[in-house]
Structure 1
Amino acid sequence: MRIAMWSGPRNLSTAMMYAFAARGDCAVWDEPFYAAYLAATGIDHPMREAIIAAHEADPVRVAAACAGPNPEGKPLFYQKHMTLHMIPGFDRGFMRVCANVFLIRHPARVVASYARKRENPSLPDIGFVQQAELFDEVAGWLGHAPPVIDSADIRDNPHAALSGLCAALGIPFTEAMLRWPEGPKPFDGVWASHWYGAVHRSTGFEDPEGALPDLPDDARRLVDQALPYYERLASFRL
């Protein structure tokens, strides 16, 4: 089985990748289209040139690998995708041979976290619009909503949330998904040194989050733009 997990940045996505890798029966791929996205758009991200140099930047080859044999012959292949990377012109056909799941997080938390790593994010940077579009596309061909999981639910009760997700995917849950070794992982993208500091210090999912962060006016306006997309997908969450 190929599992395509679609989220925006700063969305518990790396921790989820670590959880699936910890199963032992699952290969993982960290943001397959990141280099292709940077090369195609010319957008300036931290470590841009290093990312393009270190990772496959041809979207056709990336898509073929996403639809290809599972690495290492493992039964499961978890692909951590950023919704903003799936720009117009990139072939989405590989998605039809994947179980597509949508990982969401309240935009106030996303904006607060993202702004600490890259200044002045815009709506396209945080991926909510693209996530809703991909969700609608998948729902259209399935004839029903694909699985949606909220990072808040995962942090509130990781065992229950991941058990529910595994049930929705038709795979067994294992307690191994709740813990992983501290530090960098061999499957991390080259960008990990900039973005993954907190998750590298972790050995499992963090405790539930408190109240939503207090944000300046410009950040609140961005949250207001993203909120309808988040709320619509949240209505389908497991």
Structure 2
Amino acid sequence: MNRMIALWAHPRSRSTVLERVFIERGDFEVFHEPFSHMAFDEHSAIPHGDLNGAVPRDYEAIKALLRNARQRSSVLHKDMCYHCIAPLKADAEFLMEQQNVFIIRDPARAILSHYAIFPQMPVQAIGHQALYEIFCEVRRLTGKTPWVINAEDLASRPEHTVRRLCDHLQLDFMPDALNWNAKCPEQWKTWRGWHKDAENSTTITAGSADFDERPLHADSRLLTYYQLHRPFYERMNQFTEQGQP
């Protein structure tokens, strides 16, 4: 039977480069942020490409798109919980029919990376709170702790982290999927401006070890965003790679 895997993320969490691993595997049909199409349209302030594509803009229709794809192959969809938080929290059936994986990143790094692309970002778009709410709902529904990946672990130990994820999901580990040719996959084109590093990459890299938090503390709005979302990150981080199958 074909399976569906949900990779739930917040913006700037390194989720796209993990999604690229599944694109390279070749045994999944991969959807990139399909629920963003219900959150934004061509008039939205957020930087975007063409939002007039084939993805529907209604929650039920997007869900049907994923379910129909599952009829022909296994599916992975990567998305932000804040895009669809209200209907998703109320949709136990959808959450239960898939394997739910979560990825988190220190909100200081995520916020400054987000701000560099979209300075007008609203507070809910930081995304850690919505991510935590769905994590808790999956845990309540299943009685099991979902799998949580810390982005820094993915960046510093990609083979170890992906191998452990595959073990958890009961998938064959494919080492060749950790390397690729630099290009923009078709799935990313709507949000291409957000994924320049991933598009130009050929593998998962740790990036720079230097991180300057001063811009965060110098901006009262960004600091407020950080103070709100940091507790949700900390609560989830204690469960990193401790999920149950």
TM normalised by structure 1 equals 0.90
Q: In structure 2, how many angstroms separate the alpha carbons of the residues matched to 1:55 and 1:164?
A: 32
Q: In structure 1, how many angstroms separate the alpha carbons of the residues matched to 2:187 and 2:219?
A: 38
- Counterparts in 2 of 1:1-238, with a 5 A limit? 1-38=3-40, 44-47=45-48, 50-52=50-52, 55-70=55-70, 73-74=72-73, 76-89=74-87, 92=91, 93-192=93-192, 194-207=193-206, 209-214=208-213, 215=216, 216-218=218-220, 219-238=222-241
Count, aligned residues: 232
SS class of match (1:28): strand
**AA at the equivalent of 1:83:** C
Q: In structure 1, how many angstroms separate the alpha carbons of the residues matched to 2:64 and 2:54?
A: 18
Give the Å deviation of 1:137: 0.5
RMSD: 2.0
**AA at the equivalent of 1:87:** I
Give the Å deviation of 1:237: 0.5
Give the Å deviation of 1:189: 4.1
**AA at the equivalent of 2:132:** A
Give the Å deviation of 1:109: 0.8
Q: In structure 1, how many angstroms separate the alpha carbons of the residues matched to 2:44 and 2:132?
A: 22
Give the Å deviation of 1:10: 0.9
Give the Å deviation of 1:197: 1.3
Larger CA deviation: 216-225 vs 6-15: 216-225
Change (3 A) 1:162 1:3: same
- The Cα offsets for residues 138-180 of structure 1, whole Å up to 9 and x where unpaired, read as 0001102110011100111100000111111111111022112
Give the Å deviation of 1:69: 4.0
Contact 2:155 2:205 in 1 (8 A): yes
Q: In structure 2, how many angstroms separate the alpha carbons of the residues matched to 1:227 and 1:170?
A: 31
TM normalised by structure 2 equals 0.87
- The Cα offsets for residues 9-49 of structure 1, whole Å up to 9 and x where unpaired, read as 1111111111111112121000011111225xx8532238x
- The Cα offsets for residues 71-115 of structure 1, whole Å up to 9 and x where unpaired, read as 7x33x3110111111132456332221100001000011001000
Q: In structure 2, how many angstroms separate the alpha carbons of the residues matched to 1:189 and 1:77?
A: 19
Q: In structure 2, how many angstroms separate the alpha carbons of the residues matched to 1:111 and 1:67?
A: 33
Give the Å deviation of 1:52: 4.6
Contact 2:5 2:101 in 1 (8 A): yes
Q: In structure 1, how many angstroms separate the alpha carbons of the residues matched to 2:103 and 2:13?
A: 7
Q: In structure 1, how many angstroms separate the alpha carbons of the residues matched to 2:149 and 2:197?
A: 21
Q: Which runs of 5+ in 2 are unaligned?
A: none
Q: In structure 2, how many angstroms separate the alpha carbons of the residues matched to 1:131 and 1:189?
A: 24
SS class of match (2:117): coil
**AA at the equivalent of 1:77:** V
Contact 1:111 1:121 in 2 (8 A): no
Give the Å deviation of 1:126: 1.2
**AA at the equivalent of 2:11:** P
Q: Which runs of 5+ in 1 are unaligned?
A: none
Contact 1:102 1:149 in 2 (8 A): yes
